[in-house]
Amino acid sequence: MTFKPIATEKAIRLIETNNTVMFEFDRRVKKPMIKKEVEEMFNVKVKSVNTKIHNNKKVAYVRLDKKNPAIDIATKLGMI
């Protein structure tokens, strides 16, 4: 399963304020699969996953547990 982090101004603001990271997935990927993939890839605890369809891609808003700062993931991915 491939995904791409989103590094727009809105995405950076969500990282700083809501501890949320935005990713772009294939449209067919379901929320439980997104949660599992992010938890395994970055060794974090995901609190919730919200999605929307944009340009035939699924944009996932992945909110992390308070113990796992989203800024750490953003730094690993080179977004910040």
DSSP per residue, 43-72: T--EEEEEEEEETTEEEEEEEEPTTS-HHH
**pLDDT surpassing 90 at residue 1:** no
Confidence of residue 2 (pLDDT cuts 50, 70, 90): confident
* Structure-block tokens of residue 71: 């800024």
Closest CA to 18 of 75, 71, 72, 73: 71
Q: Is residue 37 scored above 90 in pLDDT?
A: yes
% of the chain surpassing 90 pLDDT: 92
**Architecture of the CATH domain 3-77:** 2-Layer Sandwich (3.30)
What residue spans define the domains of the chain?
3-77
pLDDT in the model for residue 63? 97
Average confidence (pLDDT) over 11-40: 96
> What's residue 79's pLDDT?
85
The pLDDT, as a whole number, for residue 40 is 95
